[in-house]
Amino acid sequence: MYLKTLTLENFRCYEQTRIELPRGLVVVLGPNASGKTTLLEAVYLLATTTSPRSGPARAMVRHGQSWGRVTGVFERDGREVTISVTLGDPSGSRSGSKTVEVDGREVDSLREAIGRVQASLFWVGSLEVVKGSPSERRRFMNEAIGQTSARYLDDLARYRRALRQRNELLRSIRARGGSGSILAPWTRALVDAGVPIIEDRASFVRALAAEAAPMHLRLGAGAEELSVQYDPSVAAGSDLDAEDEFYQRLEETHEREVERGSTQVGPHRDDVILTVDGVDVRRFGSQGQQRTAALALTLAQASVARVRTETEPILLLDDCLSELDPARGAAMLDLSEDREQMIVTSACCPEHLAERLADAHVIDTGGELASCRPCRIPDIEGRNTESHHGP
């Protein structure tokens, strides 16, 4: 699938901008703070209905305005899909709201819109998947699986609700005493929602690992081998299935959970083990190793989504070129050859990649995007690439 047109209205630094994009490699070039990451953020918002950046939805609305909107026309299997996300309410009555329309029809729940469009994003926050706390890796799993399975999102919502209620009860038992039996309905709800989450994560990480290792090699990390392994809080043992195991572990940890006022085991304590040549890259990887591992995970996730949805996700790669060495940078750009669309941002055109970039479609955020200005990147042989966008 690919994005054909992107329209931004009052979206962060953009006032009114319409951009046409072709298939293949698209390079967004422009100085710092010119709106490159914002473009990728807009595409990601259309795919997932949320921003990768933290903060409330209204933070995406252009300062001084009461509403903003992003609209994308995508082509998927020869058919057009139009998605638009409106932040705030242009009529002024429901400020702070977020509405999503698919082909002009407002969807009842955001969940309905998720997964219509597949996109995989690599940006500075993706590094946290490798070097951040386990919660970052859980978030990565949740977003990746959620993009291809609405049922997973439902299980996750049920699990979070059960966990919250159960923890409240544990705190009340700690404060006022009481029998553990009042927990039973919430324990059951926790296990019922938790077991499919554990199974989905196990199968996702297996698929991810198979894609990530060759991707990591391809990115030019030489003979270094990336291994990705699910590290569940409740693992199905040899003679117990996940459900029995979950009940048993909750029972074993009951004293501690009352003492601490929180559930001690379950998918909310899962992690993913990442090693490069057997060394824990989460804690001991060099910056470059962590970056390459994070990039390999993003690309592997896109491959898993491609297999599961039979659709090629759009790859959104923010600011990768500047930090990768020449071989890794070239390997990354070469990936676009077998992808339907890959949108890459860069603050400058690295000289060693100029020839490779000369064939790409360029969007220049440094100029007035809205004024339909042709943009140029000189390459080492003096050729120019031109592209027109606007109005």
Ligand X SMILES: Nc1ncnc2c1ncn2[C@@H]1O[C@H](COP(=O)(O)OP(=O)(O)OP(=O)(O)O)[C@@H](O)[C@H]1O
What is the smallest separation between the CB atom of 37 and Mg ion, expressed in angstroms? 3
Residue 97 Cβ vs ligand X, minimum distance, rounded to whole Å: 17
Best CA proximity match to 211, nearest among 314, 307, 130, 304: 304
* Under rule CB under 6 A, residue 12 binds ligand X: yes
> What's the min distance (Å) between Cβ of 36 and Mg ion?
5
Which of residues 12 and 361 has its CB atom nearest to ligand X in the complex? 12
Q: Applying CB under 6 A, does 114 fall inside the site for ligand X?
A: no
Candidates 79, 81, 94; CA nearest to 46 is 81
Q: Cα(94)–Cα(36) distance, rounded to whole angstroms?
A: 29
Report phi then psi at 85, rounded to 5. -120, 120
For ligand X, which residue of 35, 196, 232, 329 counts as binding (CB under 6 A)? Answer: 35
Q: Is 37 in the site for Mg ion (CB under 5 A)?
A: yes
Q: Cα(199)–Cα(271) distance, rounded to whole angstroms?
A: 14
State the burial class of residue 294 (Cβ atoms within 10 Å of its Cβ: 0-12, 13-18, 19+): buried
Residues 321-360 that bind Mg ion (CB under 5 A): none
Our finding on whether 52 is near ligand X (CB under 6 A) is: no
Stretch that binds ligand X, among 31-39, 147-155, 168-176, 204-212 (CB under 6 A): 31-39
Taking the CB of residue 279, how many other CB atoms lie within 10 A of it? 13
| Residues paired with 74 in a beta bridge | 3, 81
Angle at 334 between CA 300 and CA 376, to 5 degrees: 125
Which of Mg ion, ligand X, none interacts with 176 (beta carbon under 5 to 8 A by kind)?
Answer: none
Quick one: which segment of 35-43, 154-162, 277-285, 331-339 binds Mg ion (CB under 5 A)? 35-43
Residue least distant from Mg ion (Cβ): 37
Residues at the site binding Mg ion, with contacts judged by CB under 5 A: 36-37
- Name the site residues for ligand X (rule: CB under 6 A): 12-13, 30, 32-38, 59, 61-63, 319, 347, 365
